[in-house]
Amino acid sequence: MSDYGGIFGLIVLALDIWAIINIVQSGISTGAKVLWVLLIIILPLVGVIIWFFAGPRGGRAAA
């Protein structure tokens, strides 16, 4: 049973990293980026779920 907790934790970690990368690459303001990243760091699972449904869409910043 404890093996599933470890796998679940790795999945949540991977989703958090993916979300943070997408946030940093988005075209939203710096303040909004900071708030989204803090939300995901403080509440990893809930933050990713909220970001998925309410976060910024598309609009990648030009490199």
> pLDDT for 15-34, tens place per residue?
999 999 999 998 899 999 99
Secondary-structure percent of the chain, ordered helix, strand, coil, rounded to 5: 75, 5, 20
Residues 6 or more apart whose CB falls under 8 angstroms from that of 23 comprise 33, 36, 37, 40, 51, 55, 56
Q: Work out the mean pLDDT of the chain and round it to a whole number.
A: 85
Q: Which of 7, 9, 17, 24 is nearest to 48 (CA)?
A: 17
Q: How far apart are CA 54 and CA 63, in angstroms?
A: 25
* Helix or strand (DSSP H, E) at 49: helix 44-54
Domain boundaries, the chain: 2-54
Tell me, yes or no, if the pTM score tops 0.85. no
